[in-house]
Amino acid sequence: MPSLASTFARWGTPPTPVTVSAEAREFLTDTLGEPNPRPSVPLAEVVTPESRLTAAQLSALTEIVTDSGVSVTSSDRLAHAAGCSLTDYLKQRSGDASNPPDAVVRPASHEQVRELLSFCSNHGISVVPYGGGTSVTGGVSRADTKALAVAIGFDRMAQMLSIDEVSMTVTVQPGITGPVLERILATRGLTWGHLPQSWERATIGGYIATRSAGQASTGYGRSDEMVEWLRVATPMGELELGRAPKSAAGPDLRQLFIGSEGAFGVITEITLRIRHLPAITKYEGLMFPDYASGVAAFRELAQARLTADVMRLSDADETHATLAMSGPKGRQGDLFGKYLDVRKVSGGCMSILGWETQSRIALTARRRAAWSILKRHGAATLGSSVGQSWKKHRFDGPYLRDELLDRGYVVETLETATHWTTIDQLRSAVKNALVGALETETGHPYVMSHVSHVYETGGSLYFTVLVPAAADPIAQWASAKQAATDAIVANAGTVTHHHAVGRDHAAWLEDEIGIEGMRILRAVKAAVDPEQVMNPGVLLPMA
C-alpha cells in the first residue's frame, strides 16, 4: 500500500540518501537564477472532503471484497487521489485535496474484481484502477467531481502465481511491483528486466495498462512486447487472451487491453516472457563529437541489430548539465578536458551503453561488433565508471525532483518517438516549443533531451525541463506542455512513447489515430463498459 508520506506530492524517502549536490545547485543557480523556495502546504492543513458513499453502498462493497478490502480514511483516499505528474504534485503541494475517491477498494481475486466492476457499473460509480500511482500523464487523477468514485488498490492482488522455466514465462497478479517480482525471479536465476524510473513503486499491471518502456527495453523489450497472456475483467464480463507466442487468429485483442489505461476494464492476471539473469554486465560511458554522430551511430547499431541492452544518447545541453553537475572537477576535470580534446569530442554528446550478457565471450563479441561502428562515428570511451555511476543513480530522478520542487524549481519530463528520418526535426521542434513557452524576461528554462530507446526504424526522445516556478506554476507548465505536444503532433512524433495517454494527452489522441480511430475506441468502450464507469476521462476525453 502506498503510504501517504510517500505519495502526497512526494516520491518519498530514498533507500540511500539522494540530494541535489552543491555543484548541481550552483549550476542551477548560475543557469536559471535562484527561485524562492516553495514548500508544500503542511498535510495537517489539507481538508479532505467526506466520502459520499452511502452506508448501503459501503456495505455492498464490503460484501464483495470483505471487511479488510474497503477503506474510507482520509489518508488512504488522499493517497489514491493523484499520480506523480508535475501538475498532480503542484496541486497537492498547494493543499488541493484533488477530488479524492470516495473509497479505496482492495479486491483479493479476479472474481472479486469482476463483481466489483459489475456492481459499480450497475450503480454508476466510477472506478479508477490505481496501481503504484506513478502515472505522469494524469492516468489516475480523476477530474470529474460529480460522479461517485472508488479507486482500486491492488495490495491484495500482488502475488507471483507461477513460473514456467521451460517456456520462460511468469504469471503474476497485477499489483506486484518490479522489486518484489525481480527478487522472486532472482532466486531462480531469472529476470523480467523491466526497469523504468518508476520501478520502485509501479505495479506490473500498471506497466501493461500503459505500455511502459523501461531503461533496458532496447534489450529486454517493452512491457507491451513481453505480454504472452492476459486475463481481464470488464463491467460486462471477462477475457483470457494469448493462446500462443504468436498467432494469426484475427485481430490481436491483447493489444486493445494493453494500453487501455483502465478505460476498458482491469487486468487481473498477466503472463510475461522472462529471461535468465545476466551473468556478466557492463555499463560504459562514451562521448560522440556531436549529436548527429551519435544519432547516426545509434541508427546504424539498431539497423545492424547490434544494440546494447541500455542505449542512451544525451544532447549537448544534457551532456553539459551532466558534466557540470556531476563531472570531474579541479585537476581531474582538467585532465578529463584534455582527454576529450585529444579524442576530438570536446563539447560533444555523452552516451551510456549497458550490456547484459550470459558470458564474457558474448559480451566481448557484442561490444567488439558495436565498437567497430561506434569508432567510425568518432565515439571515445569514457570507461565503465561513468556507466556504473549512471546505473547507480538510475532511480534518483524522482527524489531529486522532490527537493527541486521545494527549492522553487519546476521540473518535468515528457517523451515521444519517431522514425530516424524525422528525429532531428522533432527534437528541435519540441525543444524550441518548450523554450518558447517558458522563456520570460526573468526566468530562463533549461531543456535537455536524450534518445532513450532505439528501434530499427526510429527512436524515442526524452526531454527534461527545468525552470524557476512562476507565480502560477500549474498554468506555466500547462502552456509549455500544450506547446510541446502541439510540436510533437506537428512533427511526426507520437504523443507518447512510454508515458501513456492518461488525461493529459487525451486531447491529442484524435490527432494520432483519427476520427475513425476514436470511434472504434468508443465502440469498444460501449461494448465492455456501457455505463462508462471505467477511469472516465482517460484515453477518451469526457463528453
Distance of CA 73 to the CA centre of its chain: 28
Per the CB < 8 A criterion, the answer to whether 387 and 352 are in contact is yes
Please tell me whether residue 495 binds a copy of itself under the rule CB under 8 A.
yes
Per the CB < 8 A criterion, the answer to whether 272 and 332 are in contact is no
| Contact with a copy of itself (CB under 8 A) among 40, 210, 449, 532 | 210
Distance of CA 392 to the CA centre of its chain: 19
Strands 227-233 and 280-288: unpaired
CB of 332 to a copy of itself, least distance (A): 38
Count residues contacting a copy of itself (CB under 8 A)? 88
Left (φ > 0), alpha (ψ -120 to 50) or beta: where does 68 sit? alpha
Q: Which amino acid is present at 152?
A: I
Q: Which amino acid is present at 142?
A: R
Q: What is the CA radius of gyration of the chain?
A: 23
CB of 418 to a copy of itself, least distance (A): 5
Please tell me whether residue 490 binds a copy of itself under the rule CB under 8 A.
no
CB of 160 to a copy of itself, least distance (A): 17
CB of 424 to a copy of itself, least distance (A): 10
Site stretch for a copy of itself (CB under 8 A), options 7-15, 26-34, 186-194, 501-509 = 501-509
- 3-state DSSP helix/strand/coil % of the chain, to nearest 5: 40, 20, 40
| Contact with a copy of itself (CB under 8 A) among 20, 148, 151, 239 | 239
Site string for a copy of itself, 162-201 (x = CB under 8 A): --x-xxxx--------------------------------
| Contact with a copy of itself (CB under 8 A) among 5, 342, 365, 475 | 365
| Contact with a copy of itself (CB under 8 A) among 124, 237, 347, 383 | 237
Per the CB < 8 A criterion, the answer to whether 231 and 110 are in contact is yes
Site string for a copy of itself, 262-301 (x = CB under 8 A): -----------x-xx----------------------x--
Please tell me whether residue 251 binds a copy of itself under the rule CB under 8 A.
yes
How many CB atoms lie under 10 A from the CB of residue 505?
25
Distance of CA 104 to the CA centre of its chain: 23
349: nearest Cα among 320, 311, 391: 320
Question: Which residues between 448 and 487 bind a copy of itself (CB under 8 A)?
Answer: 453, 455-460
Please tell me whether residue 135 binds a copy of itself under the rule CB under 8 A.
no
Site string for a copy of itself, 311-350 (x = CB under 8 A): ----------------------------------------
Please tell me whether residue 30 binds a copy of itself under the rule CB under 8 A.
no
Site stretch for a copy of itself (CB under 8 A), options 47-55, 95-103, 387-395, 498-506 = 498-506
* Set of cell numbers at residue 213: 518502456
Distance of CA 335 to the CA centre of its chain: 37
CA distance 87 to 388: 32
CA distance 225 to 213: 10
CA distance 230 to 246: 14
Question: Which residues between 370 and 429 bind a copy of itself (CB under 8 A)?
Answer: 416-421
| Contact with a copy of itself (CB under 8 A) among 105, 438, 501, 533 | 501
